[in-house]
Structure 1
Amino acid sequence: MFNTRAPGRASNVTSALAADRLGVPAVTYFAISMGAPFTVVAGAITTGYAITGQVGIPLGFLVMGAVLALFCVGFVTMAPYVPNAGAFNAYISKGLGRPMGVAAGWLSLVSYNAMQCGVYGALGDAAQPLIRSWFGVDVAWWVISLAGWAVVAILGTQHIDLNGKVLAVLMAAECLVIVVYAVSFLLHPAGGTVSVETLAPEHLFEPGVGALFALAVLGFVGFETAVVFSEEARVPGRTVPVATYLSLGVMTLLYVLGSWAMSVSTGPAKINAEAKEHGSELIFILAGDQLGAAMVGIGRFLYATSVLACLIAFHNAAARYAFAMGRERVLPAVLGQTSHRTSSPRGGSILQSAIGFVAIVICAIAGLHPLRDVFFIWTTAGSLGILLLIALTAIAVVAFFAKNPTSETPWRRTIAPVLAAASTLVALVLVLANFDKMLDVPPSSPLRWAIPGAYLVLMIGGLLWGFRLRRRSPRVYANIGLGAKSITRTGLGLGSPDEQTDTRFAPVPRY
């Protein structure tokens, strides 16, 4: 099926990504751009208010932000021991074993691709009003999505720092407009009073609370991206932790502020009905009444660029997962190649472009609605996979430090990771229990269980493939989770198979 031979002597274009390119700001831009703050506020939050019927969405983001901050303690503590472009699967390989790492790698690729395909629908929805107002013509959403696809495909094969510069400009602008809109909403409260009803703790005990966490996970997808770019970071021991905490903090602030301010402007009692009536237009209707047409125009433009920035970030992250697995020969070796000119993961990038193109064409032929059927369904499915990966990674962190004594403090290696594992498992159970509400389908709908079932089948398939590699290709099996070390050790014939299976290796220096 795949090329499972041990890697031969590696060239400098197949062994690793370009190192020493990304500092803290650039990695942070990628992480926040994957979250796509303005897309979440304008699209996901308004749709969430409409579909779930919950008013505690700001509280859901606040609680999930706290849970993920707890998760990050063990996540970044373990990061120096796992310098690998395939973040989740590398962590899980180290903590739960290589077969589970293979399953996690497959799960990562499918989850990120589901997110990416869904966001192409959001791009078409976001840009349609702009083109109509600028040129007076209606363009099919999928035509716009294909144009965006071409931009993303081209940038995906360029130097990683060029992508970072593009994201820096787009991300800064969208964050600024969220703050401006939110401040305006708070200065124009319904009934003349700023209400904190949507932040009341009792919303955590209402039926359907799992929908709040599912929506929150959708918004936070991307905070883990700092580790995905660890091989390209200038100082991984400092860049990864700082960028992870910074991106998570910024996203939490923007989501809580944006969702709460919207409820203040409409009134907590009316936010669900207003969102159901106006959808993603709600935020622009409120801004138009308070700030004027010019700010609405700016907001619409940045909504579209926010989606584009999200696509660029998702493309780069997914390409690096494919690269990491191809380099280790868990997937075809061609995916583990980098460009001679740009050192970008050429094989993984081309794969992502092909998947995106096919997805857009199929959705267009099927006549799907870009926001409801493409964006919300696909990204909800992807976010469930990401939450599953977060829960498995949290458990893997606990297992790793239990098996490998280190000099880390008890809080960093034991207490916080155990609390994070318990919290993420609770969140996963709540999301699964309320998954029908997130998809806006009846409880008896096959779709409710088809998506979790597909992930279960995928994980079983990955486990079986991992066991097959252990039995038939021990040298390839030994590479799983080692990242660039898989090239320098087995690729050059260094080290015995027993040495290669040892999970304890020195971390990169901390700074």
Structure 2
Amino acid sequence: MTQISLARKSVGGISLWLFQVGASAPLTVLAGSVVATYAATGVVGVPLSFLVLAVALLPLTLSYVAMSRYVPHPAIFYGLSARGLGGAAGVASGAVALLSYNAIQWSLYGLFGYTVAGLTGLPWWVCAALAWVTVGVLGVLRVDINATFFAWALLAEIAVVVLLDLAAFGNPAGGSISAAPLAFDNLVVDGLGGVLALGIAAFVGYESGPAYAEEARSSRSVTAATFGALAFVGVFYALSSWALAVAVGPANVSAAANADPDLPMTVLKEHYGNPMVWIATLLLISSILAAMLSFHNGVARYVFGMAREQVLPVSLARIGSGVHGGAPTAGSLLQSAAAIVVVLLTVVLGVDPMAMFTWLATGAAIGVLVLLITTAVASFVFFARGGGAGESVLTRRIAPIVGGLLGLAVLGVTVFNLDSLLGVDPGSALPWILPVIIALAAVAGLVGGLVLRSRNREVYDGIGHGQPNPLATPEQRLAELEI
């Protein structure tokens, strides 16, 4: 039976890069995460943390991308874990991925609602509902149509951040550019864990390229886009967060961030006037929307990939036609349904939208880091068993080991210092809710995989291999044969 995939060869390397960097949302990170990190932790070395994290993620990314060339799969962490560590591990990774990517997408509804409510005076949940409609409509379209939205929004927001950087470095507080934010001893202080947690959350999305392997024009485009996204995010965020500290003075940046949550907009207003602030605010809204759409697309592909192999209900493997052609429409609609339920629960429970953003984004960051570490182990086993025989020793052995150890170090520091980020008392057990929930998702997936192995060995043996889509129409099968 011919396997039916998503829209083949529909997206190139530039579009992939746009999706990956757009998911990270540069203006959102600067205006939201960077300011919040300075304010919550008081750590001056935030800019250096982005460079440290980029270096730590490099070997993890090397092994991850290398294995993905041999195991293309829309539910990429699920597929890689299954092929390296077995079907049950694959289902466990799939469960953690679905939880993590849903969580960060849900968190952005809180950020979007809070941001737009501040401009319009509407309740935050009304603004979030408008975003839900927009993302839901765009999410069922082909990925190449989505890419057009990403291109203009992302390039414009990058331009605004560059203008802020130029203004800051051209007019430094005290008359000179301080290198204090790049000093190691200004990073390794109390609050480091919170810095790393929000830093990892800022990177989340850069790794999404391999999930579009079935839709990419070549494996080279996936590799180039992923490493390009990692390098850009690390350097751009380091430079921009440094610029923010330079604008007000490194010694004052924490107090300034606490006193003025809109600090980047204040800097823009000072140097370019109110019109630039309005432009930046509109681009901030589009930045959040672009990130929401990227994660929405990612979740839809995970649902499709797992449903196609009958790990999830097979009805969720439906794909569209026409402008929806090759898009995982059933997975997209499921993600939209889950998102509106979470927003409604948040309203009913009276949860602050920014608390929703901080907690869910932090949990998602931990989950994605766990998945990258798991993939390092999976790739080591995969290559040790003879997979990817043409790969270098660096890719097959050194990168998975070094990446796994660095990832564990970052994960440990992050988890044991979450109280500084989440605003709870030191020693409180409350922050442990996040890693416990992730662990429970992994255990549930592992148990589900083992149950599947005992009840339906044929389906279990197909985990990670891309089973044919039983819901494909004859026309879709013919189109696949013609590719």
Q: TM-score range by the shorter chain?
A: over 0.9
Matched, 1:65 2:29: no
Which of 314, 332, 343 matches 2:295?
314
2:24 to 13, 35, 39: 35
Q: What amino acid maps onto 1:257 in structure 2?
A: L
Q: Which residue of 2 aligns with 1:467?
A: 450
Detail structure 1 runs of 4+ shifted over 6 Å in the superposition.
none
- How far does residue 443 in structure 1 lie from its aligned partner after superposition? 3.1
Match of 1:178 among 161, 175, 184: 161
Q: 2:365 aligns with which of 358, 379, 383?
A: 383
8 A Cα contact 2:99 2:364, kept in partner: yes
Whole-angstrom distance in 2 between the partners of 1:464 and 1:114: 22
Name the residue aligned to 1:208. Answer: 191
CA distance in 2, matches of 1:160, 1:202: 44
- The 8 Å contact of residues 303 and 317 in structure 2, kept in 1 or not, is answered as yes
CA distances 1:322-381 after superposition (whole Å, capped 9, x unpaired): 11111111111112111133221011101110011111122222333222x121111111
CA distance in 2: counterparts of 1:444 and 1:394, whole angstroms: 31
Corresponding position: 1:396 with 2:378 = yes
Match of 1:454 in 2: 437
User: Counterparts of 1:34-433 in structure 2 under 5 Å?
Assistant: 34-131=23-120, 138-235=121-218, 237-279=219-261, 281-341=262-322, 342=324, 343-371=326-354, 373-404=355-386, 406-433=389-416
Whole-Å separation in 1 of the counterparts to 2:210 and 2:37: 29
Give the C-alpha shift of residue 488 in structure 1.
8.3
Per-residue deviation, residues 98-131 of structure 1 (Å, max 9, x unmatched):
1111000000001011101100111112223443
Q: Is the 8 A contact 2:73 2:213 kept in 1?
A: yes
For structure 1, which segment, 66-75 or 213-222, has the greater mean C-alpha deviation from structure 2 after superposition?
A: 66-75
Are the aligned partners of 2:367 and 2:438 in contact in 1 as well (CA < 8 Å)? yes
Q: For 2:6 and 2:138, how far apart are their aligned partners in 1? A: 16
Cα deviation, residue 204, structure 1 = 4.2
On the 8 A contact 1:45/1:259 being kept in 2, the answer is yes
Equivalent residue letter for 1:301: L
> Is residue 398–residue 417 contact of structure 1 (8 Å, CA) maintained in 2?
yes
Aligned-partner Cα distance in 2 for 1:71–1:277:
38
- Mapped to 2, the partners of 1:216 and 1:333 lie a distance apart of 37
Question: Take 1:387 and 1:443, find their aligned partners in 2: how far apart are those partners?
Answer: 23
Structure 2 gap ranges (5+): 473-483
Task: State the partner residue of 2:418.
Answer: 435
**Does the 8 Å CA contact 1:226/1:244 hold for their aligned counterparts?**
yes
Decide whether the 8 Å contact of 2:47 with 2:237 is kept in 1. yes
Paired with 1:370 and 1:220, the residues of 2 have a C-alpha distance of: 21
**Deviates most, 46-55 or 400-409:** 400-409
In structure 2, distance between residues paired with 1:363 and 1:488: 36
Task: Indicate if the aligned counterparts of 2:46 and 2:187 stay in contact, CA closer than 8 A.
Answer: no
Q: Report if aligned partners of 1:130, 1:300 keep a CA contact under 8 Å in 2.
A: no
Separation in 1 of the partners of 2:166 and 2:35? 18
Segment of structure 1 superposing worse, 194-203 or 335-344: 335-344
Name the amino acid aligned to 1:64: L
Deviation at 1:185, TM superposition (A): 1.0
User: Which residue matches 2:481?
Assistant: none
440-449 or 404-413, larger mean C-alpha shift: 440-449
Q: What is the alpha-carbon distance in structure 2 between the residues aligned to residue 29 and residue 70 of structure 1? A: 22
* 2:191–2:421 Cα contact (<8 Å) kept: no
Aligned to 1:224, the other structure's residue is in SS state: helix
* CA RMSD across the alignment: 1.6
Residues 203 and 394 of structure 1, relative CA distance in 2, 3 Å threshold: farther
Secondary structure of 1:269's counterpart equals helix
Could you tell me whether the CA contact under 8 Å between 1:203 and 1:209 is conserved in 2? no
The answer to whether the Cα contact below 8 Å between 1:104 and 1:389 also exists between their aligned partners in 2 is yes
| Matched AA of 1:419 | V
8 Å CA contact 1:87–1:227 kept in 2: the answer is yes
* Residue 481 (structure 1) shift: 0.8
- Shift of residue 298 of structure 1? 1.0
1:319 Cα deviation (Å)? 0.6
Q: For 1:425, give the aligned amino acid.
A: L
Whether the aligned pair in 2 keeps the contact of 1:52 and 1:440 (CA below 8 Å) is: no
Distance 2:168 2:469 in 1: 56
Shift of 1:79: 1.7
Map of 2:428 onto structure 1: 445
**Alignment match, 2:6:** 17
Equivalent residue letter for 1:295: M
* Secondary structure of residue in 1 paired with 2:214: helix
8 Å CA contact 2:97–2:367 kept in 1: the answer is yes
Deviation at 1:56, TM superposition (A): 1.1
In percent, how many aligned pairs have the same letter?
35
Residue by residue over 1:12-39, the C-alpha shift from the partner in whole angstroms, topping out at 9 and shown as x without a partner, is: 8xx3211010000111111111101110
TM-score, normalised with respect to structure 2:
0.94
The AA in structure 2 aligned to 1:61 is F
> Which consecutive residues of structure 1, in runs of 5 or more, have no partner in the other structure?
1-8, 132-137, 492-511
- Which digits, 9 at most, give the CA deviation of each residue in 1:138-170, with x for residues without a partner? 111111110011010011111111101111111
Aligned length: 468
Task: State the SS of the aligned residue for 2:64.
Answer: helix
**Contact map agreement 1:67 1:423 (CA 8 A) in 2:** yes
C-alpha distance in 2, partners of 1:402/1:426?
A: 24
Does 398-407 or 430-439 show the bigger shift?
A: 398-407
Contact 1:106–1:459 (CA under 8 A) maintained in structure 2: yes
Which position in structure 2 is the counterpart of 1:505? none
Letter in 2 for 1:249: A
